[in-house]
Amino acid sequence: MASVAVIGAGPMGLAAAWELCKAGHAVTVYEADKVVGGMSASFDFEGERIERFYHFICTGDTGYFALLEELGIADRLRWRATRMGYYHAGRMHAWGDPLALLRFPGIGLLAKIRYGLLAFTATKRRNWRRLEHVDAVSWLTRWLGPACYDVLWRRLFELKFHHFTPNLSAAWIWARMRRTGTSRRNLMEERLGYLEGGSETFIEAIVAAIRGAGGSVLTAQRVDEVLVEAGAVRGVRVGDREFAHDAVISTVPLPFVPDMIPSLAPETLARYRAVDNIAVVCVLAKLAVPYSDYFWLNISDPQITFPGVIEYSNLCPRRAHVLYVPFYLPGEHEDYARPDRWFIEETRRQLLRMNPRLRESDILVLRAGRYRYAQPICPPGFLERLPPVDPGVRGLLVADTSHCYPEDRSIHESVKLGAGLARALRW
């Protein structure tokens, strides 16, 4: 039996802690925030509990399903047929099935055929290594042609990744396409899942399991330093207090690591600092009426300043109609320093513009939240640039959602990685 500190109480850290508890270890989870869950945390949205940032479940998330079974909440999993749309040339268009592709305006028949082939082969490809050193823009342009790329992808990339757009891994984009592409009942029907009660159902269940097994989950406890002596972990420092531990697993965003573990080798610290992230300001809207028929509405329009609208109530039924509107920005971008009110008013203005049937009085509530390290940037060759999970200190492992690569961040990938960290830990 060992005493293990887990830093970060998001899905990855909680999954690692639960795996360690099952192995009989004494586990303490340290979370800097006042609540657990990380990007999966929920809050009170005008009398209704809801996640701060949107999540959905795909049919291939088998590791997550197994964990839900373990926690006794698999019966809370629900599936629903969802629809996807595109806002282009001033109108909303259906998207996501062969008929919608054929009817979509602004791209030629040959490009549509090539797009269909790309979507099909993305679901069948297994060897992603051939895409590891290819950039996504070149890969998509070769498949679709420049005109089709301009219509369907350029604006999405530029609004989400900004100056990083020319330097994104094709393997990472492929993995995103494959995950949603394989979550279909057939060619005409996309099928996505959610938990009754949202991700909070999972977070509450796994925290209860950890505590029931004798572990501790502490909030408002920021680890300021991982203490290292003679090449091995000896504990953590929280403020002016030190706590002895035999091992530490860090799951917080990699940019926090250099200040938290300054004793690591300089070249290792440099690799942590080199991992870029995009920030997000996410506006939640509660409407009196439905906004569209789509769960996910991509946006390809030069007049709109966010890349999509996620109408969460079209996946998970709610008492009101709930939308997520994400603004992705580099943390150093001047717009990220704007107050929440600016993003709220921009959302109001553009929602009304995109749907002329929506009235101002239909918008009941708008609320903004932000997360500085929301999306790791994965350039070509990212696997070689990633800092090692084992940074060379006995009893220490360090990872965040960057290490899910080529898969994108999701609760499924996070819990899979967290459990793997726990099993790999040595001291």
103 and 180 share a domain? yes
User: How many Å apart are CA 210 and CA 28, to the nearest integer?
Assistant: 9
d(Cα 255, Cα 374) in Å, to the nearest integer? 12
Helix (H, G, I), strand (E, B) or coil at 209: helix
In DSSP notation, 128-160 reads GGGGTTSBHHHHHHHHH-HHHHIIIIIHHHHHH
Asked if 208 and 105 sit in the same domain, the reply is no
**From the CB of residue 381, how many other CB atoms can be counted at a distance below 10 Å?**
14
Enclosing H/E stretch for 46: none
Neighbours of 191 (CB within 10 A): 15
Give phi and psi for 61, each to the nearest 5: -80, 55
Is residue 42 located within the same domain as residue 133? no
Integer CA distances (angstroms), 62 to 9, 130, 152, 199, 209, in order: 22, 25, 30, 16, 20
- Cα–Cα distance, 423 to 22 (Å, whole number): 11
Cα–Cα distance measured from residue 142 to residue 162, given in angstroms and rounded to the nearest whole number: 21
Assess whether 233 and 361 both reside in one domain.
no
Residue 287 has a pLDDT of 97
Q: How far is CA 367 from CA 172, 195, 336, in A?
A: 31, 23, 16
End of a domain among 354, 376, 398?
A: 376
Q: Provide the domain count of the chain.
A: 2
Q: For residue 94, what are the domain limits? A: 81-193+277-376
Walk along the chain (427 residues) and give the pLDDT tens digit of each residue.
899 999 999 999 999 999 999 999 999 999 999 999 999 999 999 888 999 999 999 999 999 999 999 999 999 999 999 999 999 999 999 999 999 999 999 999 999 999 999 999 999 988 899 999 999 999 999 999 999 999 999 999 999 999 999 999 999 999 999 999 999 888 889 999 999 999 999 999 999 999 999 999 999 999 999 999 999 999 999 999 999 999 999 999 999 999 999 999 999 999 999 999 999 999 999 999 999 999 999 999 999 999 999 999 999 998 889 999 999 999 999 999 999 999 999 999 999 999 999 999 999 999 999 999 999 999 999 999 999 999 999 999 999 999 999 999 999 999 999 999 999 999 8
Task: Answer whether the bond into residue 406 is a cis peptide, omega within 30°.
Answer: yes
CATH number at residue 248: 3.50.50.60
Check whether residue 95 and residue 108 sit in a common domain. yes
d(C-alpha 331, C-alpha 376), whole Å = 12
Tally helices (H) and strands (E) across the chain: 14, 20
The confidence score (pLDDT) of residue 198 equals 94
131 and 186 share one domain: yes
283: Cα within 13 Å, side-chain hemisphere: 25
93 and 186 housed in the same domain = yes
Residue 62 resides in a domain? no
Q: Which of 425, 417, 426 is nearest to 15 (CA)?
A: 417
- Verify that 143 and 212 share a domain, yes or no: no
Give CA angle at 338 (333, 340), nearest 5°: 130
Q: Do both 166 and 189 map to the same domain?
A: yes
Task: Give the three-class secondary structure for 420.
Answer: helix
Residues 127 and 259 in one domain: no
Predicted confidence at residue 318, as pLDDT, reads: 87
Instruction: State which of 361, 376, 391 marks the end of a domain.
Output: 376
Residues 336 and 412 in one domain: no
pLDDT of amino acid 188: 87
Q: Specify the pairing of strand 77-82 against strand 189-195.
A: antiparallel
CA 57/CA 230 separation, integer angstroms: 44
Q: Are residues 259 and 320 in the same domain?
A: no
Closest CA to 189 of 80, 282, 269: 80
Please identify which residue in the block is written with the tokens 């979550």: 183
* pTM of this structure: 0.95
Domain assignment of residue 16, yes or no: yes
- DSSP conformation letters of 114-126: HHHHHHHHHHH--
Write down the pLDDT at residue 46. Answer: 86
